[in-house]
Amino acid sequence: MHKELESLRERQQFRSITDSEPQPDGWVIRSGQRMLNLASNQYLGMDCAWAAPGLETASAGMGAGASRLVTGNHPLCTRLEQEFARFKGTESCLLLSSGYMANIGVIPALVGRSDCIFSDRLNHASIMDGIVLSRAECRRYPHRDLDRLEAQLKKAPAGARKLIVTDSIFSMDGSIAPLRELVELKDRYGAMLMVDEAHSGGLYSEEGQGLIHSLRLTDRVEIQMGTFSKAYGAYGSYIAGDALLKEYLTNKARSLIFTTALPPAVISAVYRSWQSVKGHRVRRAELQRKAALFRQRLQEAGFDTGGSECHIVPLVLGSNEKALKVSEKLQQEGIAAVAIRPPTVPEGTARIRFSLMATHSDEDLQWAMERIIRIGREEG
């Protein structure tokens, strides 16, 4: 262990955990210092502390006591699933623990040893781990490269089940998957399509149904996955799709079957947050307006913001050393911004990942951008 940790230190890939207490105004107290929080996934500034008292919490405790398949399924869970499916426009919805648990459970349930998975090279780690657990043959295609994907689909062995899996918004790049084209390809080659809406749920379409819904592709994506841990500011995840999919996963997804159900109090918080997020049209629009401004300012100052098209804006710096130095300087100036290094991103593309929140004030963002540009320039 010592040796491995030493090697991580040498490669500037060592990580540690810092105490952080998010504040309601888009700031965070980190190790006692107040900082503007440009490193949170609570994009709409939803603070679920308010959600716990209220809806049926009298019977909604912290311990579900058993798996959903045994005695852990609180009626609130069934109600949320039914109503959320209606909201998504799908036949059914299945609630699971975290998004990580959903991906590592659902992918191996859908495909196995003699099947093929086609995965965007920048997909989230939880998707990669689900793929490894499935033991299916995995073909990773270059980021959003539809020609390469099509060539791989053509070569898949006859008889193998085919699953294309993609993030809708790529978490470290802020780029958006070509969902319309992916739907066409999966139809042409008889594949299933799974889309991870972790970073688009709550933020796109009229009431935050997500990117698939806003593109009117609901009936054409077999497996829609999303989390309640980001824009919804709570915890938990869902799979939306047809009734057969839900029945199948209930019998086959090991991360649903062999773990204790979400605490009823958490489900209650998710329910309340979702009700509120539906009405947050203004916050959704504000988030995109602020992100566009932020991205534009960095680009005008000559910085590389990768392929960002949304509220996640990377500042690509290259070396781990440079990313760590910039992040350290930003934190000293009162900006919480984290250096993202390999293996989270490809070698040589270390970066600062900025994520905007609708609740950041224009003044605070202005203040931050001046510092980011100055420090970025100092570090070349």
Q: State the catalytic residue, choosing from 126, 171, 308, 327.
A: 171
Question: Which of left, alpha, beta for 141 (phi over 0: left; psi -120 to 50: alpha)?
Answer: beta
Residue count, binding to ligand PMP (CB under 6 A): 14
Residue nearest to ligand PMP (CB): 99
The distance of closest approach from Cβ of residue 126 to ligand PMP in the complex, given in angstroms and rounded to an integer, is 5
Q: State the catalytic residue, choosing from 74, 88, 230, 290.
A: 230
Residue linked to tokens 């399924």 = 73
Q: What Å distances lie between residue 100 and 50, 198, 302, 344, CA to CA?
A: 25, 10, 36, 15
Residue linked to tokens 């935050």 = 208
297, amino acid identity: R
Please enumerate in sequence order all residues whose Cβ is within 8 A of that of 217, keeping only pairs 6 or more positions apart, or say none: 179, 180, 183
The distance of closest approach from Cβ of residue 171 to ligand PMP in the complex, given in angstroms and rounded to an integer, is 4
Q: For the segment 159-178, give every residue that binds ligand PMP (CB under 6 A).
A: 167, 171
Segment contacting ligand PMP by CB under 6 A, of 192-200, 245-253, 324-332, 336-344: 192-200
**Closer CB to ligand PMP, 42 or 126, in the complex:** 126
- Which of 92, 126, 152, 320 contacts ligand PMP by CB under 6 A? 126
**Closer CB to ligand PMP, 198 or 369, in the complex:** 198
Q: State the catalytic residue, choosing from 74, 199, 280, 360.
A: 199
The distance of closest approach from Cβ of residue 204 to ligand PMP in the complex, given in angstroms and rounded to an integer, is 15
Q: For the segment 202-231, give every residue that binds ligand PMP (CB under 6 A).
A: 227, 229
CA-nearest of 270, 278, 229 to 57 is: 270
Rg (Cα) of the chain, in Å, rounded? 21
The distance of closest approach from Cβ of residue 353 to ligand PMP in the complex, given in angstroms and rounded to an integer, is 11
- Which of 36, 164, 198, 231 contacts ligand PMP by CB under 6 A? 198
Q: What is the three-class DSSP state of 326?
A: helix
Euclidean distance between CA atoms 3 and 10, whole angstroms = 11
Instruction: Work out whether 364 is an interface residue with ligand PMP (CB under 6 A).
Output: no
Instruction: Work out whether 120 is an interface residue with ligand PMP (CB under 6 A).
Output: no
**Closer CB to ligand PMP, 99 or 210, in the complex:** 99
The distance of closest approach from Cβ of residue 169 to ligand PMP in the complex, given in angstroms and rounded to an integer, is 8
Is residue 171 part of the annotated active site? The answer reads: yes
Instruction: Work out whether 98 is an interface residue with ligand PMP (CB under 6 A).
Output: yes
What stretches of the chain adopt beta strand conformation (E)? 20-22, 27-30, 33-37, 92-96, 116-120, 137-141, 162-167, 192-196, 223-227, 237-241, 312-318, 335-336, 338-340, 350-355
Structure tokens at 251: 């019998």
**Closer CB to ligand PMP, 96 or 375, in the complex:** 96
Q: Between β-strands 223-227 and 192-196, what pairing exists: parallel, antiparallel or unpaired?
A: parallel
Segment contacting ligand PMP by CB under 6 A, of 49-57, 64-72, 82-90, 92-100: 92-100
Q: Residue 357, CB half-sphere, CA atoms under 13 Å: how many?
A: 28
Please enumerate in sequence order all residues whose Cβ is within 8 A of that of 234, keeping only pairs 6 or more positions apart, or say none: 46, 48, 51, 228, 266, 269, 270, 273
Q: Which stretches of the chain bind ligand PMP, using CB under 6 A? A: 98-100, 103, 124, 126, 167, 171, 196, 198-199, 227, 229, 237
What amino acid positions are annotated as catalytic residues?
A: 171, 199, 230
